[in-house]
A and B are shown apart, each in its own frame.
Chain A
Amino acid sequence: MHGSNLYEGQKLALKYFTVAIVLFGAQLLFGLFAAIQFMYPNFLFGVLDFSINRMVHINALVVWLLYAMIGAVYWLLPDEAGREVVGIKLGNLAFYVLTAAVAVVVLVYLFIQIGPGKESTIWFITEGREYIEAPRWADIGIVVVVLIFLYNVYATVMSGRRTGILAVLMADLIALAGLYLAGMFYTDNIAVDQYWWWWVVHLWVEATWEVYVAAVGGYILIKTLNANRKVVEMWLWIEVAMMFGSGILGLGHHYFWIGTPEYWWEIGALFSALEPVPLVGLFVHVLYDWGKETGKGNKITNVPAFSWLTVETFGNFLGAGVWGFMHTLPQINLYTHGTQWPAAHGHLAFFGAYVAIMIAAVYLAIQGKAGLKELKMTKAGWWAITLITVGVLLMTVSLTIAAYVQTMVERGMYGATWEGFFAAQNNEWFWQGMCWRLVTGLMVIVGYIFLVYDLLTCTKKQPVQESEAEVAAAAA
C-alpha cells in the first residue's frame, strides 16, 4: 500500500467511492425485489411494497452516482490542479454529514415509508416525486454539502493549474448544483410541478451529467492511454457545444403531454433527435485515441478502467442515444410515454452513460492507491465487466419486448384504460420479457459480486512490477 503518496483530496475520493459501491449494491438489491414483484405481486406485499423498492432502487442509483461523481472530482482535482485540495477538512466533514443524512433518509424510506397528506410529510418523510423523493430537510442538507464541494473545487483550481478539463468541470458543476434548486418547491399545479421537476431530471441526465462524463472521460483517456491533452480538450469543447446545444432544448421532449403548449412538440423533437450526435463523438473519440496511442507504442496503463470507459462510450450511444431516439418523436411518444419504453431506455442509458464510467474512475483510484504503474485485467474483473454489461444489454432487450407489447396492446388496442393496462401486463410476451428481465438482473448481481471482489483484490493479483514508489526510491 502506498496510500501515503496520495493527496488528501484523493483519500477523500476513496471514501466517496466506497460508499458509492455499497449503494450500488443496494440499488441492485431493491431492483431485484421490484423485478420479482412484477412477476409475483405478493412477494413482500405490505412489507416492502413495489413503490418503496422502486423508490430505493432509483434513489440509490442517483445517490451512488453523485457520490462517485464527487469522488472522481476529488480524485482528479489535485492531480490536474497540481496542488492539494483547498478546504479538505471541510470536505471531510461534508462527507460524513452527507453520509449520515443519506443513512437517515434510507432508514425513513424503509421503516416509515409514507405519511399523511400534510406538509410535514414533504419535509420529513418523502416528497413523493420520482427520483427526487428525498424530504425537504435532506434537500437543504444536500445544498449545503454541495456548496462546500463547489467551494473546494473553485478554491483549488483558482490557486492551482487551470486545465481545460477543470474549466469545463467548474462551469458544469455549478449548473448541476443550481438545477437541483428547481426541484425544491411544492405546488398544487401538477403540470407546473412536472415542468420544473424535468429541469432537474432532464438537465441533469441529458445535459450536465453528460458534460461531466465527457470531462472525466477525457481525464481517464489521458491517464490510461497517455492521450494528447490538447486533442482531448479540443474534443471536450466540441462535445460541450454539441451536448448543451442539443440537450438544453431537448428538454422539450418531456413537455409533449403534461399540460404544456404545443410548440414543445417541434422544439423537443428537433433538439432531442440531435442528442445522439455528441454520443457518437464520444466513442469515435475513444476508438481514435486508442488506435493512435497504441499505434505509437503507448501501452494501456489501466486496462479495467479503459475497458469500462469503452463500455461507457458504446453504452451511452446505444442506451441514451439509440434507445432514447427510438421513442423521442411526439408521433411515437404519444403511444410509448408512460410504458416500459422509458424503463428499457433508462436501464441501458444510466448504465451506459454513467455507471460504466464511474466504475472506470474507481479502477483508476484503486491503481493510484496501490501506486501501480500498470493495472491489468484480472479474471474476476473480466467476469465483472462481461456479466454486468451483457446482463444490462439483455435486460434492455427484454424490457424493450415488453414495451412493444404494452404499446401495441394497452395503447394501440385499448386506448390506455385500466383494462388495457392489465391486458398488456397479462400478455404472454410481456410476461416473458419480465421473466428475462429477472434472469438478466441476477446476471448483473453476480457481476456486481465479481466487481466488489475484484476492486478489493485486483491490485494484489498483478504480475510483479516495480511500483512508482520503488522507481522513485531507486532514482533517489
Chain B
Amino acid sequence: MGKPSVWSSNRFWRRSATWVTGVSAVLLILLTFDSMSQMQMGTAQDIKNKVDKRIPSPVVINYKIDYQLSRKRGHEVPIIGGMDANGNSKYEEKEKFFGRDNYSEKEARELIHLGKLTIQAKNCMDCHTLLGNGAYYAPDLTKAWLDPNWNTLAPAYGGKEYAMATFLQNPPAMAMHERKMPNLGITKKEAKAVVAYLKFMSAIDTNGFPRNFGKIKGAVDAWK
C-alpha cells in the first residue's frame, strides 16, 4: 500500500466544501451589493433628467407607458413618456391617471405604498403571478396595465384606470371568464392604489419578460 490518496481523504473534502461554500457566499454578497444599487427605486429628479432606472420613480403614473422592442438590447423595454428616434424613453408625453397627470413624488409614493400593501393583504400572489412569480390560476400581472383587453373596456368606463378600479371593487360583477376573481372587499381607495401599482409595475425593466406582450393578435386560435 502506498500513501493514502488525497481523493479519499475526508479532510481534503471537508476543506474543499468549506472553501467552495465560502467563495460562493462572498461572490453572492458582492453581486447583491451591486444589484441592490441598480435596483433602488428612481426619483422624480431621474425622470426630469431622463435617466433610465430599472425600477423608476412612482411618478411614472403621470406618463404614458409603453413596451417596445429595443434594437440595442434585443428585447422589449418599458417606454416612458413616448419614444425618441433611438428607441429610448422621452419622459415627455403625459397621460391622465384618474383625471390628473401631476402627482407629486410624495403622492405617487403614498399611492403605490397602499397599492403594494393591498396586493399583499389580499394575497394576489396566490392566484396571479407578479413579475412571473406566484400562482398560475390567473393571468400574469407584470404588464397588466398594458393589456389590450383593458383598452377595449376603457371607453365604457371613461378610461382604463376607471375600468380596472371598478373591476377590482367587485370582480364577479365584471367577470370575463368562468374562472372569475372573487370579491376581496377592495375599497375604492385601495382599488385606485392597486391600479397605480400595476401602472408603476408595467414600467419596471424586466429584461424583456414577457416576450411579445400584446403584439400577436389572434395569430392562431389554438382551441377552436
User: Using a CB–CB distance below 8 Å, which chain A residues touch chain B?
Assistant: 34, 37-38, 41-42, 45-46, 49-52, 54-55, 113-119, 121-122, 125-130, 133, 164, 167, 186, 188-192, 194-195, 197, 230, 233-234, 237-238, 240-241, 244-245, 248-249, 251, 254-265, 267, 334-335, 337-340, 342-343, 406, 408-409, 411, 413-419, 421-428
Name the interface size band of chain B: 35 or more
B1 at the interface (CB under 8 A from A): no
Contact B117–A190 (Cβ < 8 Å): no
A195 CB contacts on chain B under 8 angstroms: 32, 35-36, 39
CB of B14 within 8 A of chain A? yes
Chain A CB count within 10 A is highest, among B24, B190, B206, for: B24
Q: Is the beta-carbon distance between B131 and A190 smaller than 8 angstroms?
A: yes
Contacts of A234 in B (CB 8 A): 8-10, 13
Task: Select which of B54, B55, B143, B221 is within 8 A of A423 by beta carbon.
Answer: B221
Cα A52 to Cα B28 with chains together (Å): 34
CB-CB under 8 A from A343, the residues of chain B are 136
- Say if the beta carbon of B212 comes within 8 Å of chain A: yes
A52 to B38, CA, bound (A): 35
Is there contact, CB below 8 Å, between A334 and B122?
A: no
Indicate if B104 sits at the interface (CB-CB under 8 A): no
Q: How far is the CA of A264 from the CA of B38 in the complex (A)?
A: 13
**B171-224: which residues lie under 8 A (CB-CB) from chain A?**
176-180, 182-185, 187, 190, 193, 201, 204-216, 219-223
Contact with B123, one of A52, A186, A340 (Cβ below 8 angstroms)? A52
- In the complex, whether B154 has a CB less than 8 A from a CB of chain A is no
Q: List 14 A-B contacts (CB under 8 A).
A: A38-B137, A51-B135, A116-B121, A117-B193, A188-B109, A189-B55, A258-B132, A335-B211, A338-B140, A340-B136, A416-B212, A419-B148, A421-B138, A421-B139
List A contacts of B112 (CB < 8 A): 188
Instruction: Give bound CA distance, A118 to B114, whole Å.
Output: 7
A125-B121 in contact given A237-B13, A258-B131 (Cβ < 8 Å): yes
Asked if A415 contacts B131 (CB within 8 A), the reply is: no
Chain A residues contacting B183 (CB-CB under 8 Å) are 46
> Using Cβ atoms and an 8 Å threshold, which residues of chain A touch B27?
248-249
Given that A130-B126, A237-B10, A413-B220 are known contacts, is A418 also in contact with B35, CB under 8 Å in the complex?
A: no
Contacts of A127 in B (CB 8 A): 120
User: A471 CB to closest chain B CB, in angstroms?
Assistant: 33
**In the complex, A328→B191 CA distance in Å?**
35
CA distance A338 to B144 in the complex (A): 14
Known: A118-B121, A234-B10, A415-B215. A338 touches B126 (CB 8 A): no
The residue in A51, A194, A334, A421 that gathers the most chain B C-beta atoms within 10 A of its C-beta is A51
